[in-house]
Chain A
Amino acid sequence: MNLRPTFRRWDASGLPLLLARLVLGVAFTVMGLAKTGVPSLILERTGWKDSPAVKAVLASDIVALTGPVEFLKQMRQYRVFSDRMWPLMNLTAVALPWVETLCGLFLLAGVAVRGAALTLLAMLLAFTPMVLLRGLELQAAGGLALCQVRFDCGCGAGEVALCAKLAENTAMILLSVLALMSSAGRFCLRRRLLPA
């Protein structure tokens, strides 16, 4: 069965892309910003961190506000870089959250949609196996069932359940592929950043 015409008809409405952009955009803007340290600083400087609404959000485990130091430590647990590659680790800890944030904002605005989707897809494809491997390590060390493993994966949401995180990442990989493949231009400010 040839699915291409069906996909094209479905895609032409612009709604699937809009949905993918909104989900990915919100997720990566929030998760990226949470790791930059900027929201923590703003909440601290303004005194808003003591407001009940902010406390409720932070206690809900939807988002964990950290900063470059925490992200550096979380990255180190994956042992992607050896400790001797510390300049690269430092640079990644500083840059990656902002790359995530920019991708999220671009998708929300509908700017450079395919470029942002490709960047997210690359990060998700690199990061998801690392999360799985780290989860398997913790499972072996703790003698737990796979779905009982919980740890802070450095995703910006604090401690998460491994199975839930893997399912979430799989969904985001599919949405990134959709955003990359879609040729719809509706609801986008500037779908192509560079001239064709």
Chain B
Amino acid sequence: MNEIRRVFLEALLICAAGTAVGLAVNAVSPMGLTLGRDYFLASRGTGPRAAAGTLPAGTAPAASGTRPAGDPDHHAESEAETAAVMRLRALGLQDIPHAEVEESFRSPLRESMAILFVDARDARHFEEGHIPGAIHVDYYQIDRHIDQVLPYCHAAERIIIYCNGGNCDDSELLAQSLVTVYGVDPAHVFVYPGGMNEWRRRGMPVERGTAGTRLQEPRP
């Protein structure tokens, strides 16, 4: 066999074997990807609100709606956060400034689950520190969490979703997914662009471990 042909064949065999092993491990691994899932569907703005380019009537955003359009934020502190806010608005999602997040955190409505804090990051980041009482919904493992969390989301008056902030887009992907795939009322969904980075920077309390808010029973 021609040497060059043989080397190319070997390379192809290695790629095929690697792909086969990868698929086999992915099929049994709890960290595996769902190969048939479009993880970034939400970022393309395929939801009805993004397609229309405006918010539906009667869903005036409580946070961002009070700011003039095109004003890339008095509260976003970095370029990445400003970009995130612009992206959210282009998708028709609502951003919420830190002051309002803090107010919601201190509100008694949080105790009754009328205000929900949802951490969209992976388990490792959640364990390293999250907003006290936050519910963990890893966007990339949403199937594991959604059945338990969804009834609370439908009942809540305000759902504040966050990830690390900056370049992290897990929160916006989760927000868009909740609205477009799971039918949560968009008027109640807010993304905190500053995320955990801003939360920590402002000296707010942080809870460690896996506790968060445990949702033992589906909400009646």
Contact = CB atoms under 8 A, between A and B. Distances in A.
Contact of B35 (A41, A94, A122): A94
Nearest to A83: B40
A134 interface: no
Contacts of B37: 90
Contacts of B40: 76, 83, 86
B10 A112 contact: yes
A98 B19 contact: yes
Interface string A76-100: 1000000110110011011111111
Contacts of A135: none
A29 interface: no
A72 B33 contact: yes
Interface in A140-196: 141, 180, 192-196
B31 interface: yes
Given A90-B35, A99-B15, A115 B30 contact: no
A118 B8 CA distance: 8
Given A118-B7, A119-B11, A68 B1 contact: no
B32 A68 contact: yes
Interface residues of B, number: 38
A185 B31 CA distance: 40
Contacts of B43: 83
Nearest to A32: B18
Given A68-B26, A69-B122, A94 B32 contact: yes
Contacts of A94: 19, 22-23, 26, 32-33, 35
Interface string B15-51: 1011101110110011111111111110110000000
Nearest to B168: A73
Interface in A100-132: 100-103, 106, 112, 114-116, 118-119, 122
13 contacts: A68-B31, A69-B122, A90-B37, A94-B23, A94-B35, A95-B18, A98-B18, A99-B18, A100-B18, A115-B11, A118-B7, A122-B11, A180-B7
Interface of A: 36-38, 40-41, 67-70, 72, 76, 83-84, 86-87, 90-91, 93-103, 106, 112, 114-116, 118-119, 122, 141, 180, 192-196
Given A67-B29, A70-B122, A90-B35, 9 more contacts: A83-B41, A86-B38, A94-B22, A94-B33, A99-B19, A114-B6, A115-B9, A118-B11, A193-B10
